[in-house]
Amino acid sequence: MAAHSIRLFADDAAVRHVGEGLLARTLPKAEWTHEAHLAACLWLVRERLDFVPERDMPGTISAYNLSVGTENSDSTGYHETLTQLYIRGVRAFAATLPEGTSLVDGVNALLESEIGDRSWPLCFYSKERLFSVEARRGWVEPDLSPLED
């Protein structure tokens, strides 16, 4: 897998910009990066207790995708297994952050962690299983290593 440089966030406002832009469907498509996905998730977990990511993220991301011209299909757009896996990872990571950790410090630490790596899901899934239509459309269990609770 090709190495990617990590795009860290400058401050709490930059993280909130991504999360709020996702919810309002105003975030420019170019800003909806891997890092933005994780930042928005951590922001939602920490600051938007009215938002239940496991329940609300599928519709939110699907609607956002459509708003920026990205089709949700069998090969592009929303991916259920990746979304639910990262939500689990982000929740677990958030639980390890020391009390008082700023939003930006938490997000940047997440991005620099194992969970923040783009290849993290491949610790649990073969490429064939993870990128299958079944995994894109619904949750599928890992085929390489079980998830820990």
CA dist., res. 113 & res. 133, Å (int): 28
Give the pLDDT score at 99: 96
Give the pLDDT score at 1: 43
The answer to whether the beta carbons of residues 15 and 38 sit under 8 Å apart is: no
Strand stretches in 35-138, DSSP E: none
Contacts of 69 (CB under 8 A, 6+ apart): 29
Contacts of 11 (CB under 8 A, 6+ apart): 104
pTM: 0.95
Q: What is the pLDDT of residues 1-15, one digit of tens each?
A: 446 799 999 999 999
Give the pLDDT score at 28: 98
